[in-house]
Amino acid sequence: MAGGNEINANESKMAVPLNTWVLISNFKLAYNLLRRPDGTFDRHLAEFLDRKVPANVTPVNGIISFDVLIDRPNNLVARIYRPAPATAAGSIPIFTDLYQPPSYDTFPVIIFFHGGSFAHSSSNSAIYDSLCRRFVSLCDAVVISVNYRRAPEYKYPCAYDDGWAVLKWASAEPWLRSGKEGKLRVFLAGDSSGGNIAHHVAVRAAESGIEIAGNILLNSMFGGNRRTESEQRLDGKYFVTIQDRDWYWKAFLPEGADRDHPACNPFGPNGVRLEGLPFPKSLVIVAGLDLVQDWQLAYAEGLKTAGHFVKVVYREQATIGFYLLPNTNHFYEVMEEIKEFVRFNL
């Protein structure tokens, strides 16, 4: 639809601040160059274009970060963010400081899965480094950002396996435990594909007896074979198309699978029943201009039907990526919701 593109640009431009529009349009352009019609992905160009930041044990706004090699054979790295340890002013924290609990009181540990539709970004991508630092100050949390293996080189279930590996690692770290009972108070969080990963890791945790305090899903990535009303109505209008969603699912899901695969459609015909499982409480944040919203709302309904607590935060005028730049009410109000959810369920 040649003429349609011009209208679309104007609509999306009116929905977000100009610098947000430039940021997300830049990603859209870059991502269009990376996805090949034959299903392969230009990984080298993707890594070239991605803006990355180093970890830093020098406190910045009172927060430090460092990378940990969790699993050598898979090169699984996670980036840990935490409030700067109380060392002598001006000196750099030493290794032992890094592994001290950040406080005597209970504190949350948030295991974060970055977005990118299973194919893009890394734990050291600038957009996610920024977001994770914000979570630390927002919730006085230790945040662990998982550098999971990505599609199409690594399909389902690699990303879930990596998430599970980090959860298990965290469960074994003494310094992440807090409170009278000395236990790990862990939240699983993620945006886009990261939200999807958070769900599936939570299922595995529930089946294995690891207690998760809460799930935080931001514009999470779900789907199914049928075309929902929101997908049809919003196709191509706010940075995202059905076509690109299809491409990413095809890249992530096993060969020959369709979008009713349980990874994509957890409450669809092939889903796993969650009744009776100790599944965590969920905070599901939905952007009203995200074409995936019908799937996200269906997901929330599915949890409710299975007897689990869900709070849906619906931001009518928000687009994808609203949480990347602190320049709208959507950003600040959703951060408050997250903060309250964590505080309440700690």
Partner 1 sequence: MKREHQEAAAGGDRRGGGGGNWYAAAEQEKGKALMGTDDGVDELLAALGYKVRSSDMADVAQKLEQLEMAMGSSAAANDDALLAHLAFDTVHYNPSDLSNWVDNILSELNAPPPLPQPPPPPPADDPLSLQFDLPPAVTEQYTIGTVDLPDGSPCKPADVDELQPEASTASSGWLISQSGHQPEVAKSLRDRKRLKVCSSPPSSTITADAATAAAAQQVVIVDSQEAGIRLVHALMACAEAVQKENLKAAGAIVKQISVLAASQGGAMRKVAGYFAEALARRIYRPQPPRGMGCSSTVESAALDDMLHHHFYESCPYLKFAHFTANQAILEAFAGFRRVHVVDFGMRQGLQWPALLQALALRQGGPPSFRLTGIGPPQPDNSDALQEVGWKLAQLAKTIRVDFRYRGFVAASLADLDPYMLLGPEADGGGVEDDEPEVVAVNSILELHRLLARPGALEKVLGTIRAVRPVIVTVVEQEANHNGRAFLDRFTEALHYYSTMFDSLEGGASPPAAVEVGGHDQAMAEIYLGRQIYNVVACEGAERTERHETLPQWRARMSRTGFDSVPIGSNAFKQASMLLALFSGGEGYRVEENDGCLTLGWHTRPLIATSAWRAAGDPLSTSASCRTASS
Which residues form the interface with partner 1 (CB under 8 A)?
A: 1-2, 5-6, 9, 13, 17-19, 21-23, 25-26, 28-30, 32-34, 36-37, 42, 44-45, 47-49, 51-58, 66-69, 72, 75, 77, 79, 91-92, 94-96, 98-99, 123-124, 126-127, 130, 137-138, 147, 324-327, 332, 335-336, 339
SS (H, E, C) the chain: CHHHHHHHHHHHHHHCCHHHHHHHHHHHHHHHHHECCCCCECHHHHHHHCCECCCCCCCECCEEEEEEEEECCCCEEEEEEEECCCCCCCCCCCHHHHCCCCCCCCCCEEEEECCCCCCCCCCCEHHHHHHHHHHHHHHCCEEEEECCCCCCCCCCCHHHHHHHHHHHHHHCCHHHEECCCCEECEEEEEECHHHHHHHHHHHHHHHHCCCCCEEEEECCCCCCCCCCHHHHHHCCCCCCCHHHHHHHHHHHCCCCCCCCCCCCCCCCCCCCCCCCCCCCEEEEEEECCCCCHHHHHHHHHHHHHCCCCEEEEEECCCCCCCCCCCCCHHHHHHHHHHHHHHHHHC
Shortest spacing between CB 231 and partner 1, in angstroms? 19
Our CB check for partner 1 shows the closer of 139 and 274 to be 139
| R_g (Cα) of the chain, nearest Å | 19
Our CB check for partner 1 shows the closer of 67 and 258 to be 67
Cα torsion 12, 17, 18, 23 to 10°: value is -80
192 is catalytic: yes
Shortest spacing between CB 297 and partner 1, in angstroms? 26
End-to-end CA distance of the chain: 49
Our CB check for partner 1 shows the closer of 238 and 295 to be 238
Our CB check for partner 1 shows the closer of 158 and 206 to be 158
Shortest spacing between CB 269 and partner 1, in angstroms? 32
Our CB check for partner 1 shows the closer of 147 and 228 to be 147
Shortest spacing between CB 70 and partner 1, in angstroms? 9
Shortest spacing between CB 257 and partner 1, in angstroms? 26
Our CB check for partner 1 shows the closer of 127 and 217 to be 127
Our CB check for partner 1 shows the closer of 153 and 229 to be 153
Shortest spacing between CB 44 and partner 1, in angstroms? 4
Choice among 121, 192, 193, 230 that is catalytic = 192
Kindly list the distances between the CA atom of residue 11 and the CA atoms of 28, 164, 172, 237, 287, in Å, as whole numbers in the listed order.
16, 40, 49, 7, 16
Shortest spacing between CB 203 and partner 1, in angstroms? 28
Contact in structure between 117 and 32 (CB atoms under 8 Å): no
Contact in structure between 262 and 271 (CB atoms under 8 Å): yes
Active centre residues (catalytic): 192
